[in-house]
Amino acid sequence: MTVTKRRKREKREVPIAWEALEDAFENNAPEVHSYLQFDTGEVIRIVDGVADPRMHEKIARDDKYLKIDPVSSREQYRWMERFIDSVEDEKELQTKLTVAIDGKGAFRRFKDVLMSYPVQRERWFTFRSERLAACMKAWLTAHDIEAVERPAWRVPSAEEVRAQVEPTKSKRRLTRAQTAEANRLRLKELVDLVPVRELDTALAFMEFLKERRRPPRTRAKGTDDESGDEASDESGDETESESNEDEES
């Protein structure tokens, strides 16, 4: 009798985005579908009626994505019950929470009651996060996924940024002569790339540019008027002085 050993599957290393995964496990709305991307560890969320159905089908068939099974409403309801049992030293709050989770809208009313009790509210967040973490780890283990550390975003130092910015600034400070020389060199490079049949056209255009003269500068109208007024004032003064001399003589 031969015994066949079951081959153990290799674990897949995935840089899990924990906050996004936790949100996906908590959100069990029927119209929301979440998928884990193996390469990036990011969570893709698709909402019925919003996303393109064809895109949803494509992602569902892609072996690089794994559908996330959120925690059921019934299980999350049990968490609230267990948390209420842990609030033994505050009977008033315990009573309010017990009444709040009775009937439809239990989750919303439960959170509304805790808004007035900041300490117990923080306790609830920790309580819920611990249970979500346990569910996530169990789900990852069941699918042979090993969570690895995500690559950290590196913020460049001021010296590194300055080293990249300074050359750009120096290029912008080129003098007019340097810019002209750079343009001439660029033109020489372009000449070698011009097709033979276009050389005559390019030469004619360059000759046209060479022969073209800059139009003379025109004096501003205000300047001409002022100079004219000054000239007329001076001629008037001269005429008046001459007439005075004739009268004296």
Specify the pLDDT at position 246: 47
Residue ranges in the chain modelled with pLDDT below 50: 1, 3-4, 6, 223, 226-227, 230-232, 234-235, 238-249
pLDDT in tens, 196-208: 777 778 788 887 7
Specify the pLDDT at position 134: 93
- Evaluate if pTM is beyond 0.85: no
Specify the pLDDT at position 213: 64
Rounded Cα gap, residues 159 and 91, in angstroms: 59
8 Å CB contact between 64 and 36: no
pLDDT in tens, 122-170: 999 999 999 999 999 999 999 999 988 887 777 778 887 877 776 655 5
